[in-house]
Structure 1
Amino acid sequence: FDNAKPSGTVVHMYSGLNRPQCSVLTQLCTSHIGLTAFLYHFHLAPSPDCPLCLVPEMVSHFLLQRLTLIMQ
Protein backbone atom coordinates (compact mmCIF):
# COMPACT_ATOMS: atom_id res chain seq x y z
CA PHE A 1 0.00 0.00 0.00
CA ASP A 2 1.15 3.53 -0.58
CA ASN A 3 0.45 6.47 1.66
CA ALA A 4 -0.82 8.73 -1.13
CA LYS A 5 -4.19 10.32 -0.56
CA PRO A 6 -6.96 9.35 -2.99
CA SER A 7 -7.49 11.63 -5.97
CA GLY A 8 -10.28 14.18 -5.96
CA THR A 9 -12.20 12.02 -8.42
CA VAL A 10 -12.20 9.07 -6.04
CA VAL A 11 -13.16 11.21 -3.07
CA HIS A 12 -16.03 12.74 -5.07
CA MET A 13 -17.18 9.30 -6.28
CA TYR A 14 -17.48 7.96 -2.72
CA SER A 15 -18.79 11.10 -1.01
CA GLY A 16 -22.29 10.68 0.35
CA LEU A 17 -22.23 6.88 0.14
CA ASN A 18 -22.61 4.63 3.16
CA ARG A 19 -20.23 1.74 3.82
CA PRO A 20 -22.22 -0.99 1.96
CA GLN A 21 -22.58 1.30 -1.07
CA CYS A 22 -18.84 2.05 -1.03
CA SER A 23 -18.16 -1.68 -0.87
CA VAL A 24 -20.31 -2.43 -3.92
CA LEU A 25 -18.79 0.49 -5.85
CA THR A 26 -15.28 -0.77 -5.08
CA GLN A 27 -16.24 -4.30 -6.15
CA LEU A 28 -17.69 -2.98 -9.42
CA CYS A 29 -14.63 -0.83 -10.15
CA THR A 30 -12.21 -3.70 -9.50
CA SER A 31 -14.40 -6.45 -11.06
CA HIS A 32 -14.07 -8.38 -7.78
CA ILE A 33 -17.78 -8.96 -7.40
CA GLY A 34 -19.95 -12.06 -7.26
CA LEU A 35 -20.64 -12.30 -10.99
CA THR A 36 -20.12 -15.70 -12.59
CA ALA A 37 -16.99 -14.74 -14.58
CA PHE A 38 -15.23 -13.80 -11.33
CA LEU A 39 -16.57 -16.79 -9.40
CA TYR A 40 -15.61 -19.18 -12.21
CA HIS A 41 -12.00 -18.01 -11.91
CA PHE A 42 -11.99 -19.46 -8.38
CA HIS A 43 -13.93 -22.61 -9.34
CA LEU A 44 -17.02 -21.36 -7.48
CA ALA A 45 -19.29 -21.32 -10.54
CA PRO A 46 -19.69 -24.04 -13.19
CA SER A 47 -19.39 -21.54 -16.06
CA PRO A 48 -18.30 -17.92 -16.54
CA ASP A 49 -21.40 -17.25 -18.62
CA CYS A 50 -24.45 -15.18 -17.74
CA PRO A 51 -27.39 -17.54 -17.18
CA LEU A 52 -29.67 -15.28 -19.26
CA CYS A 53 -27.42 -14.26 -22.15
CA LEU A 54 -24.83 -17.06 -22.33
CA VAL A 55 -21.89 -14.65 -22.64
CA PRO A 56 -19.26 -14.06 -19.94
CA GLU A 57 -20.94 -12.30 -17.03
CA MET A 58 -18.56 -9.44 -16.36
CA VAL A 59 -19.30 -6.02 -14.85
CA SER A 60 -19.66 -4.32 -18.24
CA HIS A 61 -22.10 -6.98 -19.45
CA PHE A 62 -24.08 -6.89 -16.22
CA LEU A 63 -24.43 -3.10 -16.13
CA LEU A 64 -24.88 -2.36 -19.83
CA GLN A 65 -26.71 -5.35 -21.25
CA ARG A 66 -28.28 -7.52 -18.59
CA LEU A 67 -29.83 -4.71 -16.57
CA THR A 68 -31.28 -3.34 -19.81
CA LEU A 69 -32.92 -6.72 -20.48
CA ILE A 70 -34.28 -6.93 -16.95
CA MET A 71 -35.71 -3.40 -17.07
CA GLN A 72 -37.63 -4.01 -20.33
Structure 2
Amino acid sequence: MCKELLETIARNLVDDPEAVRVTTREAQDDTVVLELRVAPDDMGRVIGKQGKIAKAIRAVIKAAATKENVKVQVDIVD
Protein backbone atom coordinates (compact mmCIF):
# COMPACT_ATOMS: atom_id res chain seq x y z
CA MET A 1 0.00 0.00 0.00
CA CYS A 2 2.83 2.43 0.79
CA LYS A 3 4.31 1.96 -2.67
CA GLU A 4 1.02 2.85 -4.36
CA LEU A 5 0.54 5.83 -2.05
CA LEU A 6 4.03 7.13 -2.85
CA GLU A 7 3.39 6.74 -6.59
CA THR A 8 0.08 8.60 -6.32
CA ILE A 9 1.59 11.48 -4.36
CA ALA A 10 4.57 11.81 -6.71
CA ARG A 11 2.48 11.62 -9.89
CA ASN A 12 0.29 14.46 -8.66
CA LEU A 13 3.31 16.67 -7.95
CA VAL A 14 5.28 16.32 -11.18
CA ASP A 15 4.86 17.53 -14.77
CA ASP A 16 5.79 14.13 -16.24
CA PRO A 17 3.81 11.50 -14.27
CA GLU A 18 4.82 8.74 -16.69
CA ALA A 19 8.44 9.07 -15.54
CA VAL A 20 7.61 8.31 -11.90
CA ARG A 21 9.07 4.98 -10.77
CA VAL A 22 8.97 3.46 -7.29
CA THR A 23 11.05 0.39 -6.52
CA THR A 24 11.06 -1.61 -3.31
CA ARG A 25 13.91 -3.37 -1.58
CA GLU A 26 14.54 -4.82 1.86
CA ALA A 27 17.18 -3.33 4.16
CA GLN A 28 19.13 -5.35 6.72
CA ASP A 29 16.99 -4.35 9.70
CA ASP A 30 13.60 -5.40 8.24
CA THR A 31 13.04 -1.92 6.87
CA VAL A 32 11.38 -1.59 3.49
CA VAL A 33 13.18 0.96 1.33
CA LEU A 34 11.07 2.73 -1.29
CA GLU A 35 13.20 4.37 -3.98
CA LEU A 36 11.43 7.17 -5.84
CA ARG A 37 12.70 8.15 -9.28
CA VAL A 38 11.28 11.09 -11.25
CA ALA A 39 12.33 12.99 -14.37
CA PRO A 40 15.32 15.30 -13.76
CA ASP A 41 13.17 18.37 -14.45
CA ASP A 42 10.72 17.30 -11.73
CA MET A 43 13.29 16.65 -9.00
CA GLY A 44 12.86 20.14 -7.56
CA ARG A 45 9.10 19.72 -7.34
CA VAL A 46 9.45 16.51 -5.34
CA ILE A 47 12.13 17.85 -3.00
CA GLY A 48 10.74 21.37 -2.55
CA LYS A 49 12.38 24.39 -0.95
CA GLN A 50 14.76 23.27 1.79
CA GLY A 51 13.38 19.73 1.40
CA LYS A 52 9.96 20.55 2.83
CA ILE A 53 8.00 18.55 0.24
CA ALA A 54 10.33 15.56 0.67
CA LYS A 55 9.91 15.69 4.45
CA ALA A 56 6.14 15.85 4.10
CA ILE A 57 6.10 12.89 1.70
CA ARG A 58 8.25 10.87 4.10
CA ALA A 59 5.97 11.75 7.03
CA VAL A 60 2.84 10.63 5.19
CA ILE A 61 4.44 7.37 4.04
CA LYS A 62 5.78 6.62 7.53
CA ALA A 63 2.33 7.24 9.01
CA ALA A 64 0.75 4.83 6.53
CA ALA A 65 3.48 2.26 7.22
CA THR A 66 2.99 2.54 10.97
CA LYS A 67 -0.64 1.64 10.48
CA GLU A 68 0.55 -1.56 8.74
CA ASN A 69 3.27 -2.23 11.38
CA VAL A 70 6.05 -1.86 8.80
CA LYS A 71 9.22 0.23 8.92
CA VAL A 72 9.63 2.26 5.72
CA GLN A 73 12.36 4.53 4.43
CA VAL A 74 11.80 6.74 1.39
CA ASP A 75 14.82 7.53 -0.79
CA ILE A 76 14.55 10.05 -3.62
CA VAL A 77 17.16 9.07 -6.20
CA ASP A 78 18.17 10.67 -9.47
TM-score bracket for this pair, using the shorter chain length: under 0.3
Q: Whose Rg is larger?
A: 1
Higher strand share: 2
Q: Which has the higher contact order (CA 8 A, sep 6+)?
A: 2
TM-score, structure 2 length as denominator?
A: 0.25
